[in-house]
With several copies, the nearest count.
Chain A
Amino acid sequence: MSDKVLLDYGSGGRASQRLISQLFLNHFSNDELNRLNDAAELSMSGRLAMSTDSFTVDPIFFPGGDIGSLAVHGTVNDVAMMGAIPRYMTCGYIIEEGLPMADLETIVASMGEAARHAGVDIVTGDTKVVPKGAVDKIFINTTGIGDIIVDPAPSGDAARLGDAVLISGTVGDHGLTILGTREGLEFEAAVQSDSAALNHLLVKLVQELPEVHVMRDPTRGGLATTLNEITGSSNVCCELDESAIPVRLEVKGGCSILGLDPLYLANEGKFLCILPEEHSEKALEIMRADPLGQDACRIGTMTDANPGKVVLITALGGKRLLGMLEGEQLPRIC
Chain B
Amino acid sequence: MCLAVPAEVISIEDDTAVCRVDRGQTTVKASLMLLPEKPELGEFLIIHAGFALRILDREEAEKSLRSMNLAVEGV
Contact with B along A174-212 (1 / 0, CB 8 A): 000000000000111111000000000000000000000
Of the candidates B21, B23, B25, the one whose C-beta lies within 8 Å of that of A257 is: B21
B28 touches A190 (CB 8 A): no
A257 touches B28 (CB 8 A): yes
Docked pose: A253 CA to B26 CA in angstroms:
6
Docked pose: A259 CA to B27 CA in angstroms:
15
Residues of B within 8 A of A22 (CB): none
A174 shortest CB reach to chain B, Å? 15
Query: B31 — nearest CB in chain A belongs to which residue?
Result: A186
Residues of A within 8 A of B21 (CB): 187, 253-254, 256-257
Contact with A along B44-64 (1 / 0, CB 8 A): 000100100000000000000
Docked pose: A251 CA to B24 CA in angstroms:
8
Docked pose: A191 CA to B27 CA in angstroms:
11
Query: B30 — nearest CB in chain A belongs to which residue?
Result: A186
A65 shortest CB reach to chain B, Å? 19
Query: B1 — nearest CB in chain A belongs to which residue?
Result: A259
Q: Is B5 an interface residue (CB 8 A)?
A: yes
Docked pose: A262 CA to B22 CA in angstroms:
14
Of the candidates A186, A190, A259, the one whose C-beta lies within 8 Å of that of B24 is: A190
Q: Is A248 an interface residue (CB 8 A)?
A: yes
**Contacts A256-B5, A257-B5 given; does A186 touch B28 at CB 8 Å:** yes
Within 8 A of A (CB), among B7-53: 7, 20-29, 47, 50
Residues of B within 8 A of A289 (CB): none
What secondary structure prevails in chain B residues at the interface with A?
Answer: strand
Q: Is A36 an interface residue (CB 8 A)?
A: no
Q: Is A244 an interface residue (CB 8 A)?
A: no
A256 touches B22 (CB 8 A): yes
Contact with B along A228-261 (1 / 0, CB 8 A): 0000000000000000000011111110110100
**Contacts A186-B50, A257-B5, A257-B47 given; does A250 touch B28 at CB 8 Å:** no
A186 touches B29 (CB 8 A): yes
B26 touches A254 (CB 8 A): yes
Residues of A within 8 A of B23 (CB): 249, 253
Q: How many residues of A contact B (CB 8 A)?
A: 16
B24 touches A252 (CB 8 A): yes
Docked pose: A300 CA to B24 CA in angstroms:
25
Q: Is B68 an interface residue (CB 8 A)?
A: no
Residues of A within 8 A of B26 (CB): 187-191, 249-254, 257
Residues of A within 8 A of B28 (CB): 186-188, 257
**Contacts A186-B29, A186-B50, A257-B47 given; does A249 touch B5 at CB 8 Å:** no
Of the candidates B3, B24, B29, B50, the one whose C-beta lies within 8 Å of that of A253 is: B24
Docked pose: A266 CA to B23 CA in angstroms:
22
**Contacts A256-B5, A257-B5, A257-B47 given; does A187 touch B22 at CB 8 Å:** no
Query: A252 — nearest CB in chain B belongs to which residue?
Result: B22
Residues of B within 8 A of A188 (CB): 26-28
Residues of B within 8 A of A248 (CB): 24
Interface centre among A191, A250, A252, A256 (most CB of B within 10 A): A256
Docked pose: A259 CA to B5 CA in angstroms:
9
Interface centre among B22, B24, B26 (most CB of A within 10 A): B26
A187 touches B27 (CB 8 A): yes
Q: Which residues of A contact B (CB under 8 A)?
A: 186-191, 248-254, 256-257, 259
Additional A-B contacts beyond A187-B26, A252-B24, A253-B22 (10; CB < 8 A):
A187-B28, A188-B28, A189-B24, A190-B24, A191-B25, A191-B26, A250-B24, A250-B25, A250-B26, A257-B21
